[in-house]
Structure 1
């Protein structure tokens, strides 16, 4: 299902992108795809987080799509639009192609398998969540659309998300909307910024803390401490999985 449909507004811009070549920042970080600007922060359109899977048993929450995800999603969207697919199908295919693409996805799958998540979902490996069993998975970002600081991926640090009015409001509105629809799924927040935002919702009584796999590190290679962090919280995360109320 579509939870927003900005694709209608940006469809002409997407279709005008160069064909047959890997898209660059010069192609994508342009005014015709710019959604919002706040100081040094810029938010650009990408289609993949407009689609959600309402039947998911697991939600993985990242910070914001990076440029690699944006590029893959946009290239997939061009293919889908030129093939005459519906907006929903275009956004769905873009999401499936782009989410946690590259080495980060392999690290994420390895960590989830180490915790034994696949066993609770009756899978051979969590790799299947990104392949034949995608109905079990929904992925979202605190910031639904890609955010950059001086054309570099926003990292959650400068400025801090919860300290910046623009980022805070946008993140909380998007997050509450999707978590309200998926009210029973296990939530896996990637990294400290995402976790801090979920903790805020817990403190406000808007989220049950037992639904969250606290302590999961961001699997990106930019997080040099990801394996040490994972080891530190592994026992606690395993206990959370054991206690989670798995529903058919």
Structure 2
């Protein structure tokens, strides 16, 4: 499923009627008893430290986001501004937000972010929060909002949102972010992404009750405002106790206190956003600090996992973050031993990065479509750290892994009946600047 569809539905949203998020005009796809509708939940906050992951935007969320998008579009705002502001309006809106804030504060997320309450994640500290769903777009099952993510890995339509939309989102988020799954089956989806190397298990905070009002009894017991003797038979207190203790322990051990400066997002007349900082309401706040380039460079001297010889997961996550800044995305890795990372510009495959070959001593092999060879060869003097990496018998190399190029028979120099590519060796001992420069001209 396409990751970005706002431009396709912008005209429809400009005519949106309050209270009608599930109409034929907003329908993205239907399969069997599933219907997926567009609503502007595509914006990714790449500064986020907290990631809230629900099942799918509900009717209230979708309507709130659609109304905001309608207002912004009719005011002449750019699509980027519409995407960001509409999602902030719709994400986890309605009655469940109060419960969510209480739960997050209870397990200590506010203390770890040095903010007085997680309520500010929806206000002054919204730059620390990314809200999303395993099924990005509002999804109906048999005409009602889907209430479980359990079919997310078996149903083709649902899995396409996981493998394309969700994977692309998480690849753009900081490695330091942590994730709270909320809703039946969401934890299974996130664990699946851990298996694929998109996330690390230590980033997941599993076990918090869903903040829905329908879950009031479990929330009350989790927060300590209801005793075991007051619970109905539908609630398992032992399971809640176990999850709560694990969460409290994990939050205390895995995440060091970070001082935060609240940030305000401002927009100029052209719709470009900028952030300005103001003193925090608690403590002697400082901005969140990212790793310095010098610290990051050391990581690229050894990019190979000693257990299997493939690229380290943390290196892949860093690569994905850098590519996101170039508006490029990385395709999902089918298995730990997949040989290539596919890189996309929109829906077009523009490069492959080897996950095994050439990774020692701070180098990566990047394969481009062979039609790019002449252009890049002419620029190698300008692209410091980039050099040609020819095959044994030709300027080009070939592999069935490059099927995204659809380049069989491009050069008569190769007798192989596989897809062809032009390979370049990129020096990353001093960081990813050469890598980004190479892909920036593709």
CA distance in 2 between partners of 1:121 and 1:219 (Å): 21
CA distance in 2 between partners of 1:28 and 1:241 (Å): 37
Corresponding residue number in structure 2 for 1:38: 31
Corresponding residue number in structure 1 for 2:251: 241
C-alpha contact 1:219 1:226 (8 A) present in aligned 2: no
Moved more, 206-215 or 104-113: 206-215
Correspondence list, 1:115-194, <5 A: 115-156=107-148, 160-182=151-173, 183-194=175-186
The alignment's TM-score, normalised by the length of structure 1, stands at 0.89
- Determine which structure has the larger strand proportion and give its number: 2
Q: 1:4, CA displacement in angstroms?
A: 4.6
The alignment's TM-score, normalised by the length of structure 2, stands at 0.51
Aligned residue pairs: how many?
A: 238
C-alpha contact 1:29 1:151 (8 A) present in aligned 2: no
C-alpha contact 2:3 2:165 (8 A) present in aligned 1: no
Deviation readout 1:99-157 (Å, 9 max, x if unpaired): 11111010000000111110111101000001110011111111111001233111116
- Determine which structure has the larger helix proportion and give its number: 1
C-alpha contact 2:171 2:198 (8 A) present in aligned 1: no
Q: 1:179, CA displacement in angstroms?
A: 1.6
CA RMSD of aligned residues (A): 2.0
Q: 1:224, CA displacement in angstroms?
A: 5.4
Pair 9,140 (structure 1): closer, same or farther in 2 beyond 3 Å: same
Which ranges in structure 1 are unaligned for 5 or more consecutive residues? none
Larger radius of gyration: 2
Corresponding residue number in structure 1 for 2:5: 6
Which ranges in structure 2 are unaligned for 5 or more consecutive residues? 224-239, 259-287, 289-442
Pair 225,209 (structure 1): closer, same or farther in 2 beyond 3 Å: farther
C-alpha contact 2:36 2:137 (8 A) present in aligned 1: yes
Q: Which runs of 4+ in 1 moved over 3 A?
A: 203-206, 222-226, 228-231, 245-248
Match of residue 59, structure 1, among 38, 47, 51? 51
Correspondence list, 1:102-121, <5 A: 102-121=94-113
Corresponding residue number in structure 2 for 1:73: 65
Deviation readout 1:69-123 (Å, 9 max, x if unpaired): 0000000001111111111111111111111111101000000011111011110
C-alpha contact 1:195 1:214 (8 A) present in aligned 2: yes
Larger relative contact order (Cα-Cα within 8 Å, sequence gap ≥ 6): 1
Moved more, 181-190 or 218-227: 218-227
C-alpha contact 2:29 2:37 (8 A) present in aligned 1: yes
Give secondary structure in 2 for the equivalent of 1:222. Answer: helix
C-alpha contact 1:118 1:125 (8 A) present in aligned 2: yes
Q: 1:65, CA displacement in angstroms?
A: 0.2
Give secondary structure in 2 for the equivalent of 1:43. Answer: strand
Q: 1:164, CA displacement in angstroms?
A: 1.6
C-alpha contact 1:215 1:229 (8 A) present in aligned 2: no
Moved more, 117-126 or 206-215: 206-215
Pair 16,59 (structure 1): closer, same or farther in 2 beyond 3 Å: same
CA distance in 2 between partners of 1:205 and 1:5 (Å): 23
Q: 1:161, CA displacement in angstroms?
A: 2.6
CA distance in 1 between partners of 2:56 and 2:68 (Å): 18
CA distance in 1 between partners of 2:21 and 2:147 (Å): 19
Pair 173,78 (structure 1): closer, same or farther in 2 beyond 3 Å: same
CA distance in 2 between partners of 1:102 and 1:31 (Å): 25
